[in-house]
Chain A
Amino acid sequence: MTSAAGPITAGEPPASAGLGAKSRRRFAGVPYFLLLPGLLWLAVFFVIPMVFLLSQSLQTGTLETGYRLTFHFATYSDALSSFGHQFLRSFEYAFLATLLALLIGYPLAYAIALKAGRWKPVLLVMVVAPFFTSFLLRTLAWQTILNSDGLVVRFFRSTHLISLTRALGWTNGDQLLNSPLAVVTGLTYNFLPFMTLPLFASLDRLDPRLLEAAGDLYATPLTAFRRVTLPMSMPGVVAGTLLTFIPAAGDFINSQLLGNPKTAMIGQVIQGYFLRINDYPTAAALSFALMLTILVLVSVYVRRSGTEELV
């Protein structure tokens, strides 16, 4: 039976195409016509460059003498052994930032989705508001917030937290800036909205009556959270995690502005090797290796949830 309602059901053409099969048959190519320009742009300026990147990583030569494709795989092993630290560090910081973002972002998203009521739109704007200013400026602002004479540092010093963080290797000397702590703080800050918004979208879809039903069936609030809310918000958790971890792994702005040479992340190395040292093969190898690692993660996710949830 045809549903008078909208959603696409199996075996039935999308309801909007119900303007008569004649129009459908004549313009069966409509979706392809709509897709073509945009997808072509992506194919030419996203996919093909990746091919060039791979090819570049297997070439030898210099910018002056020109490059030849020699399939010099040693570039990869050389690059990875030289910069394995930075690679690992990038993933380590990204992981920390993602974890922190999850721990901070989940309650935030929860509060907005399920407890905010009238204030929901206002709070959402506040989550997105950071984007309204250039992120470089905002990251620079952390230099101000964490600098040696600022309130935050003075608080850390007076409570001797600074000794603790120094002992853990998170900070150096008497400062909070130019340290791993500052870098992770900045990373978490930068990507917190990317974690919060998908979480919010997922939690917003949760019908609060499900929680009422759980309570009716003798579940304490904590149990209801564990067994109803958390599982149902999982798509949001996965999406938020991906959208946070991946860009964080490649980021280097935070590390450059808030860290020191010992906190260098792989992005810095790649940029340096491309733009200053002009060692394109090495830089390309590092870049491609980063991309590959991330592709693996994405494909694991896609295998589990399919592609419809992505876009």
Chain B
Amino acid sequence: MPATSGDLQLSSLTKRFGPFTAVDGLDLTIPQGSFFALLGPSGCGKTTTLRMIAGLEQPTQGEIRIGGQDITFDKPYRRPVNTVFQSYALFPHLTVWENVAFGLKRRRAEQVDKQVGEVLELTELAGLAKRKPAQLSGGQQQRVALARAIVNKPAVLLLDEPLGALDLKLRRQMQVELKRIQTEVGLTFVHVTHDQEEAMTMADTIAVMNAGRIEQLGAPAELYEHPATTFAANFLGQSNLIRATVKDRQPDVATVALPTGTVRVPADRLPAGVDEVWVGVRPEKISVSGDAGSEQAASGPNRIDGGVVTDASFMGVSTQYLVRTPWQQELTVFEQNRDGSGIHRVGDRVSLSFATQHTFALDAGQDAEAGIELDSEVVG
């Protein structure tokens, strides 16, 4: 059973509930020992995928392998997989110690005391071993859930939005903790979340999921700087997407016409074969300068002149502007609060500028609204 280790492989994994397809032909290989995040909005199928790996759901089609061994139809208690549940699912009638020892006892492991003790140390729960879950705080319960899973040294550890119920400060703390523990213990973590900041903080690799499919797969920085779809561009951080037409393609750079003016886009960031595109640039990459005539030209040759500030929100670390372009689109700009100098005010006329290498383009056939979350989703 849990002796096997190795990569986790999902092949053509599909799950249908009647007419509704929750997971649509997923192909994924998660390397052993990595911290992998399944990121996506509520309803994208990430939790269903997790439950299929755990054995709590049966796939309609496809296979799941760990280290080459097919576990697709194995019962949950026969898989070398453990889950940290979103609601923790701690056994209320057992103490912390008994909760953590549960899996070891079922497997008739040796040196149960020693292993439990070590894990309690690791998760900083040593003094609470005799308490019952009802007597613990949210953060402590979360760590018990983690300890209970980790102590079994599974080939794959699944985490189903484990930090959702914690307040912000605690969540940030636990993000760091989880990463530290994962590095120390060396297990494969598969973390499901809808919080893109959380995924980017903790994961080595992120798979962005939408409507049962993977939109894009890669390291956080790669996904963030080079989104391949509008969904990825909007879901990870924010993006400004402007409708444009390709005018001229050169080997290394292309010229693209915005409704007013032109910008330059690196050739490798341009979708092939289409001339109608969304030009994209992230808000933090844009500089705002005063009237066109001012000398404070910012970085990069891409400029949009004739903008008017319609909103300015001072957020301490940065100021968020909404700037209306000559073609009546509101672009979002984050200006870092470098020197505490004055901010632009509503009604100011400004110019926006950004570097060529920070500009990307996506097929205009994609939905520019994809991936924009209107509220913060709570339950996965």
Contact = CB atoms under 8 A, between A and B. Distances in A.
* Chain A directly contacts chain B within the complex, with at least one CB pair under 8 Å: yes
Interface of A: 1-5, 11-12, 18-23
B51 A20 contact: no
A5 B379 CA distance: 9
A237 B44 CA distance: 43
Contact of A4 (B22, B45, B47, B58): B47
A22 to B, nearest CB: 6
B75 interface: yes
A1 B86 contact: no
Contacts of B379: 3-5
Contacts of A4: 47, 51, 85-87, 160-161, 379-380
Question: Which 4 residue pairs across A and B have the least CB separation, nearest first?
Answer: A21-B58, A1-B43, A18-B56, A11-B18
A22 B17 contact: no
Contact of B48 (A1, A5, A21): A1
Contacts of B160: 4
Contact of A20 (B22, B48, B58, B380): B58
Interface in B14-61: 17-18, 20, 22, 42-45, 47-48, 51, 55-58
A11 B17 contact: yes
B6 interface: no
B17 A2 contact: yes
Nearest to B58: A21
A22 B22 contact: no
7 contacts: A1-B47, A2-B47, A2-B51, A5-B379, A12-B17, A18-B51, A21-B58
Interface in B258-307: none
Contacts of A21: 58
B73 interface: yes
Contacts of A1: 22, 42-45, 47-48, 380
Nearest to A18: B56
A22 B42 contact: no
A22 B20 contact: no
Nearest to B78: A20
Given A4-B87, A20-B58, 19 more contacts: A1-B44, A1-B47, A2-B57, A4-B47, A4-B85, A4-B160, A4-B379, A5-B87, A5-B379, A12-B17, A18-B57, A19-B55, A19-B75, A19-B76, A20-B56, A20-B73, A20-B76, A22-B58, A23-B75
A9 to B, nearest CB: 9
A1 B73 CA distance: 21
A20 B380 CA distance: 21
A268 B160 CA distance: 64
Contacts of B48: 1-2
A5 B161 CA distance: 13
Nearest to B86: A4
Contacts of A19: 55-56, 75-76
Nearest to A6: B87
A209 to B, nearest CB: 19
Contacts of B58: 20-22
A123 to B, nearest CB: 24
A19 B48 CA distance: 14
Contacts of B87: 4-5
B19 to A, nearest CB: 9
Interface in B296-329: none
A20 B52 CA distance: 9
A1 B160 CA distance: 14
A16 to B, nearest CB: 10
Nearest to A21: B58
A20 B72 CA distance: 10
Nearest to B85: A4
A124 to B, nearest CB: 22
Contacts of B22: 1-2
A268 B279 CA distance: 90
A134 B20 CA distance: 57
Nearest to A2: B48
Nearest to A3: B379
B222 to A, nearest CB: 27
B304 to A, nearest CB: 40
Interface in B61-88: 73-76, 85-87
A3 B160 CA distance: 12
Interface string B145-179: 00000000000000011000000000000000000
Contacts of B20: 11
Contacts of A5: 87, 379
Contacts of A12: 17
B149 to A, nearest CB: 16
Contacts of B57: 2, 18
Q: Which of A1, A3, A5, A23 has the most CB of B within 10 A?
A: A1
A23 B217 CA distance: 35
Contacts of A23: 75
A18 B47 CA distance: 14
B122 to A, nearest CB: 26
Nearest to B48: A2
Given A4-B47, A4-B85, A5-B379, A20 B55 contact: yes
A79 B22 CA distance: 65
A69 B265 CA distance: 98
Contacts of A3: 379
A22 B43 contact: no
Contacts of A11: 17-18, 20
B194 to A, nearest CB: 11
B73 A22 contact: yes
A11 B18 CA distance: 7
